[in-house]
A and B are shown apart, each in its own frame.
Chain A
Amino acid sequence: MKQRELPSYLQQSDAVKDRFERMKKRPVTLQVKNLNKEFDTPQGKVTALKDINFETYKREFVCVIGPSGCGKSTLIRILAGLETQSSGDVLLDGEAAIGPGPDRGMVFQGYTLFPWLSVKDNVMFGLEMSGHSKASSEEQAFQWIDLVGLSKFAKSYPHQLSGGMKQRVAIARALANQPRILLMDEPFGALDAQTRAKMQGYLHEIWKNIDVTILFITHDLDEAVFLADRVLVLKANPGEVQEVIEVPVPHPRSPEQLLEPEFLATRKRLEELIHPAEADAGINEDHLNMVRMVRVDNEVESVY
């Protein structure tokens, strides 16, 4: 393959630079300060996250990416309040966020819709929990369902929906509480490539029109570059912030941009960070021990 000359991922057009400058003047929604997480295992203490520091600005879209075992899921679970950090602070609009709460919405990879509730009742769940009357939550639920384009399925049960539809319900359910930040843990990981691309488009549409900051975990490099304003790259053992990359691809994003030089440059940088070159140079032990096992007189001498 021919190596194309790519610009540096740090190189931003004036419009993009201006946008980042304006963004950084916005108030900080989520601030993570000196966050550490250690697990006690039979093999001893394991540091899952070490000294994590970052912040997200209001209505920013941040993707978190990293190799497996970098603790990205642990990080988002701490942010959601489903796990507690060993030390450090999570501040939401300047206030410490402790325990799970409706101010931080969460979308899981496994949908986690309540199978015994219809789509409408699923979306109503959070509203009712936060004390809205039945009538008012029903009305709001219909609005959110309409927003994600599932009005026809309001009365259906989750098992009657496709994966992409389920995830749209999950997003509507999380957004109905009007959280300040939407935490998404590899939400499109279980979807096929086409649905995934469509969902990425939908998510951008939702994000554009709703007052919400999004923190999105993924292991898909293209997804990270396509969706994010900034990408938080973690490294494994222990999980640390390796780099925060400002994506130089201008908004609004479209699938055609996947082949633009700034897109490819950013993707290449992520690739370098997540799969360092020496890992591929044969130092690692994980490889096949393949020898030719086809007879010499096989009809197909070579598959090439």
Chain B
Amino acid sequence: MMIMFTKLFSIGKKLDSRQRITMSVFSFLLPLLIWSLVSYVPFIWHPKVEIETAGDVSYFQQGMLIDRNIFDREVETAIKESKAVPEGVAANPVYLPAPHEVATALYTAFTTEPKRRNEKWLHESLWDSIQVIFWGFLISSLIGVPLGILAGTYDVFSKLFEPFIEFFRYLPAPAFGALAVAVLGIYDAPKIAIIFIGTFFQQVLVVSNTTRKLDPALLEAAMTLGAKRMSLLFRVVVPGIITHLYKDLRLLLGWAWTYLIVAELIGTSSGITWFITQQARYKNFDNVFAAIIIIGIIGLTTDLVLAAIGRKIFPWEKGLAKA
């Protein structure tokens, strides 16, 4: 037991692969466990009471959620006045559905027909969101990555671009919402623009920083082998940073998702955000949680898939990680 403990908590030592998988599973199980405890164990939290029989309390209705202290007071009065006593069970507020409710919602959200004919199915909403993210991130990367590499390679571009970008990245992307709608209309274009603004400026700075971390000795070696300007850039700088660049982009893609929610509220609200706000309005919080979890699942899966692709296309990366 003691040995096990010291093994798990030794500083700077990697766990063996079985332990690492176990821990990764735990990292999901622990929050789920806390959520389940709060949901299913009646004496943990549960600040509300769900009415089962109203008794003689005029404003109680079956299924109603009432604050616990109000319920207790009514019970007391009922007993004092010898009226029919209301009955109920401890419950959580409507905004915290139990795991099984969300799990059901996860499934039914895809199978329930939208309430109105012109509304979209969940998967259609999701697809809209993915497209907005894709285009925003693609356009940002097409401009941001080359600029970042240039700024990281040549001091002249670094000084020319970076000060302004440093300034601009502090301007919150959502602040440009109204402007984006005025310029680009109300449909997808302003949303893509917000993703772009949210990603681009960080991207240039992150990429230029990564580029600067390239070992200068590699450039020197290439020069003594006869490499000149363009070949230095394309045959040494770019392949030299590509694995780190790839990791940066994976990270930045995560940021793009956070801007999505703001972006989709602009103009005509759409996509997964529209679904979430709509469901919250109907108080279908199980659906809200389901949608949020789906975003998480999409994000994590994309990242894992991209990581796997990375290992495939950069066969030398294992060596880099070791070094």
Contact = CB atoms under 8 A, between A and B. Distances in A.
Given A82-B223, A100-B220, A129 B231 contact: yes
B202 to A, nearest CB: 26
A110 interface: yes
Interface in A90-115: 100-102, 104-106, 108, 110, 112, 114-115
Contact of A112 (B218, B231, B235, B239): B218
A126 interface: yes
B262 interface: no
B319 A112 contact: no
Nearest to B215: A112
Interface residues of B, number: 27
Interface in A156-181: 157-160, 173-174, 177
A100 B221 CA distance: 9
A13 interface: no
Contact of B221 (A112, A157, A159, A160): A112
**Centre residue among A116, A157, A158 by max chain B CB count within 10 A:** A116
Q: How large is the interface on A (under 10, 10 to 19, 20 to 34, 35 or more residues)?
A: 20 to 34
Interface string B229-247: 0010001100110110000
A125 interface: yes
Interface of A: 80-82, 100-102, 104-106, 108, 110, 112, 114-117, 125-126, 129-130, 157-160, 173-174, 177, 183
Q: Which 7 A-B pairs have the closest CB atoms?
A: A159-B319, A102-B226, A126-B225, A112-B221, A100-B223, A129-B226, A106-B224
Interface of B: 215, 217-218, 220-228, 231, 235-236, 239-240, 242-243, 314-316, 318-320, 322-323
Given A117-B239, A130-B226, A174-B224, 6 more contacts: A100-B220, A101-B226, A102-B224, A102-B225, A106-B220, A177-B226
18 contacts: A80-B220, A82-B223, A100-B223, A105-B225, A106-B221, A108-B217, A112-B215, A112-B217, A112-B221, A115-B320, A116-B240, A125-B227, A125-B235, A129-B235, A157-B316, A157-B319, A160-B319, A174-B224
